[in-house]
Homo-oligomer: A and B are copies of this chain.
């Protein structure tokens, strides 16, 4: 920057000032600096720069698993909002590993982020240390909540969304059985399980569970194997199956097809299958998956804007806020 300043005939502090806000310097000097940029292609080192700024423009985004299109999509939305607000997103995936999650948070400290948007891994997260991080860095959680961590939480209203789809399924056919992992790593899964049970109870019906074994992030495979066995044993308690999430539904549909069970609501269909989330691939399953959409855009926008408000100091000191967005029924062919 020293050399660049000399080359552009301006002092270094002025150049620094320019990069901090081009409008803070006189038009004539701005022109000189910009001409020099054109000539030499100089740009300040963002990391050296962040070392001294009192407030950086860095926003960390941490998701549990980038190879899951749900999180990839969510991250994509959030990054767009963050960039539009003039901040700099740093996206980190934790590969489904709680240790990596902590490592990601710790490494974020080094860039002194203005704030962090964190989708925790869930039950496997080290809640204690996540809370400790949130105490130091302004953080907003999304998708998955950890009690007492972060300044706010933005997610989906599982009660409402599960109610919605159970409603739809009951209205259009047999009451659904609930297909899920026996020991899900995600608190949302627990909430959905309970929401399902409650929805059934409201109708005076006994909840029916199909629980499959498995752990890790290979949900489709877990569901595929589990469904294959359940269908093989003819152990389905209902001809309608509500899967705890779309990735499980994708595996389930694949298994049903494999077994020759026609899925859908038309005549000749043996089974109805529904999911939850409106996963990017849900529209291309066979048949196309009926599901309840999480509002990716709204969750992304709200969580990012909540964080930005906190950073800007517009809404300090208020109590921890929880925002739950309603799901939207996406009626396709599978149920």
In the bound assembly, the distance between CA atoms of A66 and B89 in angstroms comes to: 14
Give the size category of A's interface with B: 35 or more
Tell me if A72 is interfacial: C-beta within 8 Å of chain B: yes
Closest to A253 in B: B286
In the bound assembly, the distance between CA atoms of A257 and B106 in angstroms comes to: 48
Tell me if A157 is interfacial: C-beta within 8 Å of chain B: no
| Chain B residue contacts of A95, Cβ below 8 A | 76, 79
Q: A79-101 vs B: 1/0 string, CB under 8 Å?
A: 10000000000011101000000
Tell me if A3 is interfacial: C-beta within 8 Å of chain B: no
Tell me if A107 is interfacial: C-beta within 8 Å of chain B: yes
| Chain B residue contacts of A51, Cβ below 8 A | 47-48
**Contact partner, A46, options B45, B75, B107, B285, Cβ 8 Å:** B107
Tell me if A188 is interfacial: C-beta within 8 Å of chain B: no
Of the A-B pairs whose beta carbons lie under 8 Å apart in the complex, a sample of 21, sorted by A's number, is A45-B110, A46-B110, A47-B50, A48-B110, A66-B72, A66-B75, A67-B73, A67-B280, A91-B91, A91-B92, A91-B93, A224-B284, A250-B281, A251-B284, A253-B284, A254-B284, A254-B285, A254-B288, A257-B287, A258-B288, A286-B286
